[in-house]
């Protein structure tokens, strides 16, 4: 059960219960500097489970060491007077990507690619810190009103040399798990590349690539069935991005982009192409009508010939309408 409010943990005054399961999250105020923060506290039940408690503490240590514009900031962590661990986090306003998709707040193609590029940048940074997220999904991506992305929830993240998963115990969300994650093989950063490919597919089409609910059916598809590209084609996704998604979701980790450097480069290139101005070449002037020598003398003696610009204005073919996607309506979310 949530604590009776208002309550206090050290210098943090808990003001509103925001939700949670094995840990509870509260909106709180840092009474020393007046900053609004989020406080995440492990419940009594969570404290009784050694694995849950170990993952909570590992999350606090890992996330607390990360400093990036697109990663949730951790300010503090410790234990309350009942010896329950807690962490103090950046308070986020806005909505997660799951709700943004449902509410139609992800905007047009360019805006979606900008959101994806921020996620890729966050993961690229996380990997430089030798951390594998392992649970990339729309619920773990937060977007504020300015369109700034924050990668959140490192609860099952894995650092190099740290193994907290029991034999035969799979961690992750089924739809976004890589084949090697499903089968319990050695986990590398490539599981995040695979999950990103699934996430990008869903962001651009509004649907998951696997149309199933039973976990067994989802796992079978991940292990045995090729990704269905038709929804991407129907959504008008550029071929280069379709190819990127296909490569990210390859069954073999060695066939995926090796890290997020190549992924961000592909996304930045696609965004630049959408931003490039459309160039319409001038039409070729129509040929002047053939005249008899007498008529030519008459025209020459009556008036100087019309400038070529008059012929372009009168006879040029109309400019072709651009079908550049960047000429579409303004995106729903303004990006920083």
Phi (first) and psi of residue 38, to 5 degrees: -115, 135
Q: What does DSSP assign to residue 132?
A: E
Contact of 216 with 271, CB cutoff 8 Å: no
CATH 3.30.200.20: does it fit domain 8-90? yes
Q: For residue 26, list its beta bridge partners.
A: 17, 39
Two tokens, residue 96: 């997660």
The predicted pLDDT at position 334 comes to 37
Q: Distance between CA 206 and CA 120 in Å, rounded?
A: 19
Whole-prediction pTM: 0.77
Per-residue pLDDT tens for 25-84? 999 999 999 999 999 999 998 899 888 888 888 888 888 889 999 999 999 999 998 889
Q: Where are the domains positioned within the chain? A: 8-90, 95-275
CB-based contacts of 7, cutoff 8 Å, min separation 6: 13, 14
CB-based contacts of 12, cutoff 8 Å, min separation 6: 28, 29, 30, 31, 37, 39, 88
- In 3D space, the residue among 249, 261, 257, 267 whose CA is nearest the CA of residue 198 turns out to be 249
| Dihedral class, residue 255 (left if φ above 0, else alpha if ψ from -120 to 50, else beta) | alpha
Q: What does DSSP assign to residue 229?
A: -
Q: Distance between CA 315 and CA 184 in Å, rounded?
A: 70
- pLDDT tens per residue across all 336 residues of the chain: 788 899 999 999 999 999 888 889 999 999 999 999 999 999 998 899 888 888 888 888 888 889 999 999 999 999 998 889 999 999 999 999 999 999 999 999 999 999 999 999 999 999 999 999 999 999 999 999 899 999 998 866 665 444 444 433 445 689 999 999 999 999 999 999 999 999 999 999 999 999 888 999 999 999 999 999 999 999 999 999 999 999 999 999 999 999 999 999 999 999 999 988 766 667 666 555 555 444 444 444 444 444 444 333 334 444 444 444 444 444 443 333
First to last CA, the chain: 39
- Most distant CA pair in the chain, distance: 110
211 is catalytic: no
CATH number of 95-275: 1.10.510.10
Report CA-CA distances (Å) from 21 to 4, 13, 52: 17, 21, 11
Catalytically annotated residue among 76, 81, 135, 275: 135
């Amino acid at each position: 059960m949530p604590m009776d409010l208002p309550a206090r943990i050290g210098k943090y005054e808990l003001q509103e219960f925001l939700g949670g399961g094995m840990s509870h999250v509260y909106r709180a105020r840092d009474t020393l500097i007046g900053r609004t923060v989020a406080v995440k506290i492990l419940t009594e039940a969570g404290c009784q489970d050694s694995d849950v408690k170990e993952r909570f503490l590992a999350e606090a240590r890992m996330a607390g060491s990360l400093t990036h514009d697109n990663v949730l900031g951790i300010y503090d962590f410790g234990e309350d007077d009942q010896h329950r661990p807690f962490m103090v986090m950046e308070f986020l306003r806005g909505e997660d990507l799951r709700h943004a998709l449902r509410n139609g707040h992800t905007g047009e193609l360019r805006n979606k690619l900008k959101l994806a590029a921020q996620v890729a940048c966050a993961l690229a940074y996380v990997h430089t810190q030798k951390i594998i997220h392992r649970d990339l999904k729309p619920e773990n991506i937060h977007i504020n009103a300015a369109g700034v992305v924050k990668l959140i929830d490192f609860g099952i993240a894995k650092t190099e040399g740290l193994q907290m998963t029991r034999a035969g115990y799979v961690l992750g969300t089924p739809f976004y798990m890589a084949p090697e994650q499903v089968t319990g093989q050695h986990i590398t950063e490539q599981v995040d590349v695979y999950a990103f490919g699934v996430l990008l597919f869903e962001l651009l089409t509004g649907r998951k690539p696997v149309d199933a609910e039973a976990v067994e059916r989802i796992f079978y598809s991940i292990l045995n069935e090729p990704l269905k590209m038709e929804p991407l084609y129907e959504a008008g996704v550029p071929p280069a991005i379709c190819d990127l998604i296909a490569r990210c979701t390859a069954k073999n980790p060695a066939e995926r982009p090796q890290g997020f450097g190549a992924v961000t480069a592909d996304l930045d290139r696609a965004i630049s192409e959408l931003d490039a101005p459309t160039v319409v070449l001038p039409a070729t002037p129509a040929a002047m009508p053939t005249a008899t020598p007498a008529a030519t003398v008459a025209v020459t003696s009556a008036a100087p010939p019309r400038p070529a610009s008059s012929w372009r204005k009168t006879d040029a073919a109309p400019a072709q309408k651009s079908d550049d996607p960047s000429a579409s309506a303004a995106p729903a979310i303004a990006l920083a």
